[in-house]
């Protein structure tokens, strides 16, 4: 398996852009289409820990589920937010790239280059 993993949504231009930048450099990352293969709460917790960010910073606030689940409510715990993302994977912002140099939300896609 590749030492590079991209948590990817092929419908997202930023995600496609980051993947293309990796492939243009001859890299073949392990691609996790997290919409088709949702991450469970444990995997999400581990990914958030690698990123070193609060899960709230990884949420897509424009998704309908964000409002429907009242995720803007600051009283929501990290565990509640992770459970929401596990149940509704489109809430997770993308692309997230993990390399031996670290993990990062790559928006804009060019941020992936800092992980190489």
Which residues are designated catalytic? 12
For residues 58 and 41, give the distance between their C-alpha atoms in angstroms, rounded to a whole number. Answer: 14
What the block records as the tokens of 45 is 């917790």
Select from 38, 34, 43, 37 the least CA-distant residue to 9. 34
What the block records as the tokens of 109 is 């896609």
Residue with tokens 């941020």: 111
């Amino acid at each position: 398996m590749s030492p590079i993993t991209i948590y990817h949504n092929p419908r997202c231009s930023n995600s496609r852009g980051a993947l293309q930048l990796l492939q243009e450099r001859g890299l073949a990352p392990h691609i996790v289409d997290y919409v088709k293969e949702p991450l469970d709460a444990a995997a999400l917790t581990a990914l958030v820990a690698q990123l070193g960010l609060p899960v709230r910073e990884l949420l897509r606030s424009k998704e309908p589920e964000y409002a429907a689940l009242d995720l803007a409510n600051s009283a929501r715990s990290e565990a509640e937010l992770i459970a929401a993302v596990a149940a509704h994977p489109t809430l997770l912002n993308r692309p997230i790239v993990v390399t031996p140099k670290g993990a990062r939300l790559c928006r804009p896609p060019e941020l992936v280059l800092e992980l190489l």
